[in-house]
């Protein structure tokens, strides 16, 4: 007797191998049989004739933690309706633990007003216990954020680490690994981490390598200096043997788009030379970025306080504006998405804001940054469709959202969320598999399941296989579709008929059951 039998479906098992027909029997939290089960019975039966049965999707670049969503609305419906069953947080250099001192949480201020949150943990261990208590509908694991730890050590001071501080940092990270963190993330584009030296990063990557974790990198520059930025992280991996994952690979700014072939060549060459390298990608040509990261690199060096000081200094301001004008960034078309200081600015382009305030585009950007103390997020169409196709197709890519989980009700907050929060995984299936024919179903599912599980060392998930956890999705290949757009992001994806997490039904006939059965993923 099984708890659940999924009958007559076509299995795409997540490994990349060709689809095949089989029944699946689930008992407790496990896939217990994969064969013809026509003579068997179960408490609950799913007719999957004409449907694809796949592992649950694994989103290794998720921000539901650092945007506080796992606590403010743990249903994470926009993720569940995409078929996501596992998320990894702590991305882009910032994690919610460890928090040994009050400085450390500040590294998420770029996304969140931290005066409104409540924290009752210090270590990774305590944090993961808290997450377990809130009962998420998806499995959750976390990286440890380099900026989070760095802030805890140096605070706001602008300096290279002393040996003793570097040792302290390594101690904190080693403890976090011991307590279950799946890797170390870096956000080298962000103001604080910009000061991190090669020596510091290599020392930490050595530790990552020794502890067999993954080193992820939101690289220093995703526009005109992307080649140097890619070289930097490859060098770290080469020198240390750390497994390297480049986060949300993309190139911003039309004049820089042509660098993509060189970027991919560099990655392929490194791979040939033995570097264990890969990257993730979200399937949109619009980024969802913190506004200040578009400014010339030096402006935000050393932290927010210094940045705001520079923006306010009339002489420096002139210099910044001059450089912005020469930049390849089309500041006018940046759309304001989150700006808690003035709701009327949200959904408008900078061009429009500048016009109504009767000032230049660069002045409008700078004044918004000053008024919000740097806390302003944007949605910007700065990526190339052609590059996106190349990156999604590339054998070393996996799919991620780089987003967070929301319910449709979040619309009333006034925030403009990015469509990736609601549609990333179905968009790949609808747009890149069905409509553009760029990927086979098996490859696309592999990039969402088996491959991310392998890269992040997530055990017994990501493949439909006997003895593996029963994280299973039943997809209707006719109706699968992302529905969220930039103008109307608050729309769930459709065509995900069933989602099963650790043997429990989380989506039934396309409806969320409110069963929250996620487990903690730790290494
Ligand atoms: Zn990032």
Decide: helix, strand or coil at residue 218. Answer: strand
DSSP E strands in 326-481: the ranges are 335-338, 377-381, 397-399, 472-475
CA of 283 to the centre of ligand 1 (A): 15
Per-residue pLDDT, 76: 98
CA of 91 to the centre of ligand 1 (A): 7
| H or E element at residue 2 | strand 2-7
d(CA 50, CA 8): 8
Judged on CB neighbours under 10 Å (0-12, 13-18, 19+), 35 is: exposed
Q: Which residues surround ligand 1, an ion (CB under 5 A)?
A: 92, 218, 247
CA of 482 to the centre of ligand 1 (A): 22
CA of 21 to the centre of ligand 1 (A): 39
Q: Give the tens place of pLDDT for each residue, 400-447.
A: 999 999 999 999 988 889 999 999 999 999 999 999 999 999 999 999
CA of 355 to the centre of ligand 1 (A): 31
CA of 290 to the centre of ligand 1 (A): 10
Decide: helix, strand or coil at residue 146. Answer: helix
Q: Are 466 and 521 in contact, with CB atoms under 8 Å apart?
A: no
User: Whole-number mean pLDDT of the chain?
Assistant: 94
Helix (H), strand (E), coil (C) string for 88-107: EECCCCCCCCCCCCCCHHHH
CA of 229 to the centre of ligand 1 (A): 14
What dihedral do alpha carbons 293, 282, 77, 184 form, nearest 10°?
-60
CA of 145 to the centre of ligand 1 (A): 11
CA of 494 to the centre of ligand 1 (A): 27
CATH 3.20.20.140 fits 57-285+383-455, yes or no: yes
CA of 314 to the centre of ligand 1 (A): 31
pLDDT value at 32 more than 80: yes
pLDDT value at 216 more than 80: yes
Rg (CA), the chain: 22
Question: In degrees, to the nearest 5, what angle opens at C-alpha 56 toward C-alphas 51 and 59?
Answer: 135
CA of 218 to the centre of ligand 1 (A): 5
The Cα-based distances of 233 to 243, 253, 276, 398 in angstroms read: 11, 21, 12, 18
Per-residue pLDDT, 105: 85
The strand pairing partners of 496, in sequence order, are: 475
d(CA 500, CA 342): 41
Helix (H), strand (E), coil (C) string for 267-314: HHHHHHCCCCEEEEECCCCEEEEEHHHHCCHHHHCCCHHHHHHHHHCH
Per-residue pLDDT, 47: 98
Q: Give the tens place of pLDDT for each residue, 485-522.
A: 998 999 999 999 999 999 999 999 999 999 999 999 99
CA of 249 to the centre of ligand 1 (A): 9
CA of 108 to the centre of ligand 1 (A): 12
Q: What is the mean pLDDT of residues 367-395?
A: 94
Tally of CB atoms within 10 A around 435? 11
Per-residue pLDDT, 342: 82
Q: Give the tens place of pLDDT for each residue, 120-170.
A: 899 999 999 999 999 999 999 999 999 999 999 988 776 788 999 999 999
d(CA 94, CA 357): 35
Per-residue pLDDT, 470: 98
Q: Which fold has domain 2-53+465-512?
A: Urease, subunit C; domain 1 (2.30.40)
Per-residue pLDDT, 106: 83
Decide: helix, strand or coil at residue 325. Answer: helix
pLDDT value at 100 more than 90: no
Total residues found in the chain within this entry = 523
CA of 24 to the centre of ligand 1 (A): 37
CA of 278 to the centre of ligand 1 (A): 15
pLDDT value at 101 more than 90: no
Per-residue pLDDT, 518: 98
pLDDT value at 327 more than 80: no
How sure is the predictor about 64, in pLDDT bands with cuts at 50, 70 and 90?
A: very high
Q: Are 238 and 198 in contact, with CB atoms under 8 Å apart?
A: no
Question: In degrees, to the nearest 5, what angle opens at C-alpha 406 toward C-alphas 403 and 407?
Answer: 155
| H or E element at residue 359 | none
**Residue with tokens 């026509």, as numbered in its chain:** 38
pTM, 2 dp: 0.95
d(CA 391, CA 388): 5
How sure is the predictor about 73, in pLDDT bands with cuts at 50, 70 and 90?
A: very high
| H or E element at residue 15 | none
The Cα-based distances of 234 to 54, 188, 259, 262 in angstroms read: 33, 14, 16, 14
pLDDT value at 298 more than 80: yes
Lowest mean pLDDT among 31-40, 74-83, 293-302, 443-452: 293-302
CA of 188 to the centre of ligand 1 (A): 9
pLDDT value at 182 more than 80: yes
Ranges of each domain in the chain? 2-53+465-512, 57-285+383-455, 291-379
């Amino acid at each position: 007797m099984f708890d659940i039998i999924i009958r007559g479906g076509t299995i795409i098992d997540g490994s990349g191998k060709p689809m095949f027909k089989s029944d699946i029997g689930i008992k407790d939290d496990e896939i217990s049989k994969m064969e013809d089960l026509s003579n068997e019975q179960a408490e609950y039966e799913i007719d999957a004739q004409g449907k694809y049965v796949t592992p649950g999707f694994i989103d290794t670049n998720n921000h539901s933690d650092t945007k506080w969503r796992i606590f403010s609305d743990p249903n994470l419906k926009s993720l569940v309706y995409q078929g996501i069953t596992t998320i990894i947080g702590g991305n882009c250099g910032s994690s919610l633990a460890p928090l040994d001192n009050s400085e450390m949480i500040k590294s998420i201020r770029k996304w969140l007003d931290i005066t409104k949150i409540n924290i009752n943990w210090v270590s990774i261990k305590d944090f993961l216990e808290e997450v377990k208590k809130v009962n998420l509908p998806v499995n959750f694991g976390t990286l440890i954020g380099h900026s989070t730890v760095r802030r805890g050590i140096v605070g706001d001071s602008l300096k290279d680490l002393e040996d003793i501080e570097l040792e302290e940092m390594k101690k904190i990270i080693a403890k976090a690994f011991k307590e279950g963190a799946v890797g170390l993330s870096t956000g080298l584009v962000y103001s604080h981490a910009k000061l991190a030296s090669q020596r510091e990063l290599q020392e930490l990557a050595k530790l990552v390598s020794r502890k067999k974790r993954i080193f992820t990198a939101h690289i220093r520059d995703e526009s005109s200096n992307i080649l140097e930025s890619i070289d930097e992280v490859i060098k770290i991996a080469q020198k240390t043997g750390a497994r390297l994952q480049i986060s949300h690979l993309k190139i911003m700014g039309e004049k820089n788009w042509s660098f993509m072939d060189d970027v991919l060549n560099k990655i392929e060459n490194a791979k040939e030379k033995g570097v264990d390298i890969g990257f993730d990608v979200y399937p949109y040509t619009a980024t969802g970025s913190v506004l200040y990261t578009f400014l010339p690199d030096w402006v935000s060096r050393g932290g927010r306080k210094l940045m705001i000081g520079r923006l306010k200094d009339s002489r420096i301001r002139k210099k910044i504006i001059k450089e912005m004008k020469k930049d390849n960034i089309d500041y006018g078309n940046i759309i304001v998405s989150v700006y808690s200081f003035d709701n009327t600015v949200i959904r408008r382009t900078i061009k429009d804001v500048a016009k109504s305030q009767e000032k230049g585009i660069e002045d409008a950007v700078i004044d918004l940054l000053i008024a919000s103390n740097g806390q302003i997020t944007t949605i910007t169409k700065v990526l190339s469709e052609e590059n996106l196709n190349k990156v999604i197709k590339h054998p070393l890519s996996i799919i991620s959202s780089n987003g967070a989980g929301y319910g449709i009700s979040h619309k009333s907050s006034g925030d403009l969320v990015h469509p990736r929060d609601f549609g990333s995984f179905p968009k790949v299936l609808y747009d890149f598999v069905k409509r553009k024919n760029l990927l086979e179903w098996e490859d696309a599912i592999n990039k969402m399941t088996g491959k991310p599980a392998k890269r992040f060392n997530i055990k017994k998930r990501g493949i439909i296989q006997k003895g593996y956890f029963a994280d299973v999705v039943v997809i209707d290949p006719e109706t699968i579709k992302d529905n969220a757009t930039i103008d109307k992001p608050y729309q769930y994806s459709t065509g995900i008929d069933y989602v099963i997490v650790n043997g429990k039904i989380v989506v039934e006939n396309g409806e969320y059951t409110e069963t929250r059965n996620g487990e903690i993923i730790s290494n």
